[in-house]
Chains A and B, each alone.
Chain A
Amino acid sequence: AQSVTQPDIHITVSEGASLELRCNYSYGATPYLFWYVQSPGQGLQLLLKYFSGDTLVQGIKGFEAEFKRSQSSFNLRKPSVHWGDAAEYFCAVGAAGNMLTFGGGTRLMVKP
């Protein structure tokens, strides 16, 4: 069965600082990996996705993620965080065309 672990429940960073959110997955085949962001009262918005090819993927809002098969990881990064980035971030793994399995989420707080 597929599973996703996000080890950090809460992270606080200062505005302008860099950010890395961790994601580890378990999946028997080639994974399809996603990062979503959820702001209060909002639905989930896709930040980026990995299906194949280049292991460093670029997303919206200046985010990027790197797929490392040997570590079963898909960490999300941003070089400089803005206060508007405060939200909950979810990593997910999906089988082709089917359901997504989400991690428990990481709540990001940004200090001014």
Chain B
Amino acid sequence: DTGVSQNPRHKITKRGQNVTFRCDPISEHNRLYWYRQTLGQGPEFLTYFQNEAQLEKSRLLSDRFSAERPKGSFSTLEIQRTEQGDSAMYLCASSLEWGASGAHNEQFFGPGTRLTVL
């Protein structure tokens, strides 16, 4: 397994445009998380899925943001009508369900998608 992958790695867009990012988790992981990291800050939780169900959303996730995981495998994060304040690194992580196979919930992170809104 090559780990968590994210595409694209970089995205430059103009204010008002829509963007979509993709995350492919580690294949046996049924939990998938999205975080946002702005320059000089730690990652902040946005949302997470268990299989295809979106179980929790942060208040950071405004109405312009939507995330899906339609078949419980890859996930997409869409930002509509982008604003300059959306410029950040968007990180995806995946993990096993808590307690599965005797394992604790260790999250494995992808390399991130860096979004720049002009």
- Residue ranges of A at the interface with B (Cβ–Cβ < 8 Å): 4, 6, 32, 36, 41-46, 49, 51, 90, 92, 94, 96-105
- CB contact list, B17-56 vs A, under 8 A: 31, 33, 35, 40-45, 48, 56
- CB contact list, B79-99 vs A, under 8 A: 91, 93, 97-99
Interface size, B (range): 20 to 34
Q: Which of A92, A97, A105 contacts B31 (CB 8 A)?
A: A97
Q: Which of B4, B45, B93, B97 contacts A97 (CB 8 A)?
A: B97
In contact, A99 and B56 (Cβ under 8 angstroms) = yes
In contact, B111 and A42 (Cβ under 8 angstroms) = yes
In contact, B33 and A99 (Cβ under 8 angstroms) = yes
B74 at the interface (CB under 8 A from A): no
In contact, B4 and A90 (Cβ under 8 angstroms) = no
